[in-house]
Amino acid sequence: MSLIILDRDGVINHDSADFIKSPAEWEPIEGSLEAITRLNHAGYRVVVITNQSGIARGLFDVDTLTNIHRKMRRMLAQVGGKIEAILYCPHGPDDNCSCRKPQGGAYTELAHRLRIDLSNIPAVGDSLRDLQAAQAVGAKAILVKTGKGIKTLEKGIPNGVTVFDDLAAVVDNLLGDTA
């Protein structure tokens, strides 16, 4: 079975400069849930690794985050898909923790839990820190233009990063679909 790692905000759902603070604010990007379902049907294990500093900032609590993820999983199940695991960093940017992207700690934790090497495992994100975290562990960094992706691309991205319009286009490429 293959594995893919996805960032959440800006890849699966619409992002917000004010943070996604409630289930009501969580809305999927068109085609993203179906793309995950296609990955599942092709034998991919889908894992989400996401920074959620809104917790450290006091904007929402862990129970609210759990409810946001419950909504995401429920909507995904309605189209026949699933996410195997969600790893999140609750720390703020000044907390200097290893699990917060651009550090690779959450990726390393995933590799340890699954007892696998993340070399060349696709890791999809919309920000420079997503790309840096993936590259820190040898994963194949992929940028999508949704969320912060276009701004990230305009500022410059590391060598070796592939770029796609959205998650559906990433999945088309991975699965060899031309439609």
Q: What CATH number did the domain enclosing 6 receive? A: 3.40.50.1000
Catalytic status, residue 172: no
Q: What residue numbers bound the domain in which 7 lies?
A: 2-175
Radius of gyration (Cα) for the chain, nearest Å? 15
Tokens of 69: 């993820």
pLDDT in tens, 122-149: 999 999 999 999 999 999 999 999 999 9
- Among residues 9, 15, 126, 166, which one is catalytic? 9
The model's pTM is: 0.96
Total domains, the chain: 1
d(CA 161, CA 166): 14
Catalytic status, residue 126: no
The answer on pLDDT for 179 being more than 70 is: no
pLDDT in tens, 58-88: 999 999 999 999 999 999 999 999 999 999 9
